[in-house]
Amino acid sequence: MSDLISYQLDDGIATLTLNNGKVNAISPAVIEAFNEALDRATQDKAIVILTGQPGILSGGYDLKVMTSGPQNAIDLVAAGSTLARRMLAHPYPIIVACPGHAVAKGAFLLLSSDYRIGVEGSFSIGLNEVQIGMTMHHVGIELARDRLRKSAFHRSVINGEMFDPQSAVDAGFLDKVVPADQLVVTALAVAAQFKKINMNAHRKTKLKVRAALLETLDQSIELDKQHAL
């Protein structure tokens, strides 16, 4: 598998580990590797656990790409949005074991998954786009609108408010928070629970529940291709 995303299969559980520098920036190459890993996990019929390096899941899109020209930024966001859409429709459960910070696209990875576990500590989770001068893209708005609690949606998207792990649970970015040394064992326990469900029913129900969102994201991806951020 790619050096950017390692792939480890064990007893029907595929662990995907982001490994792209100190902030795990999401670049075109990372998205390509991510898609390849999801292809392999589908072939293996495996539950997916996505994680990062100690202290961080991802700090967001690669700023070198985002600032290298409007079209490069549009293309990267479109690829990332298409990945998010794929994650939401993935035929097997996706668990995120978030080992720390999850910012911008890192936070959208949380919003694109089925179950999210964070760790205790002084970590920031959220959407900082307006803080760094980026107008939130259509896909980001719709994904946040669907997955965040109503009370946190405007604070997050419009105000760029960042959350600590516990308040990220209340906002809707995470489902639970555990001590850092319990992250892996907790993710494996969640995966073990997922093994007890019927995967065909899981897939069909997921697509039925998210049908309107997926259709909205398809439209939003096309809108975002027409506008600079």
Q: Which domain CATH number covers 91?
A: 3.90.226.10
DSSP at 52: -
So what's the pLDDT on residue 187? 98
pLDDT at 191 over 70: yes
Quote the number of domains for the chain: 1
Q: Which domain holds residue 214?
A: 5-226
When pLDDT is averaged across residues 105-115 and rounded to a whole number, the result is 98
For the entire predicted model, the pTM comes to 0.96
Read out DSSP for 110-178? HHTSSEEEEESSS--EE--GGGGT-PPPHHHHHHHHHHS-HHHHHHHHTT--EE-HHHHHHHTS-SEEE
Condensed to tens digits (0 to 9), the pLDDT of residues 111-152 reads 999 999 999 999 999 999 999 999 999 999 999 999 999 999
So what's the pLDDT on residue 18? 97
Confidence of residue 226 (pLDDT cuts 50, 70, 90): confident
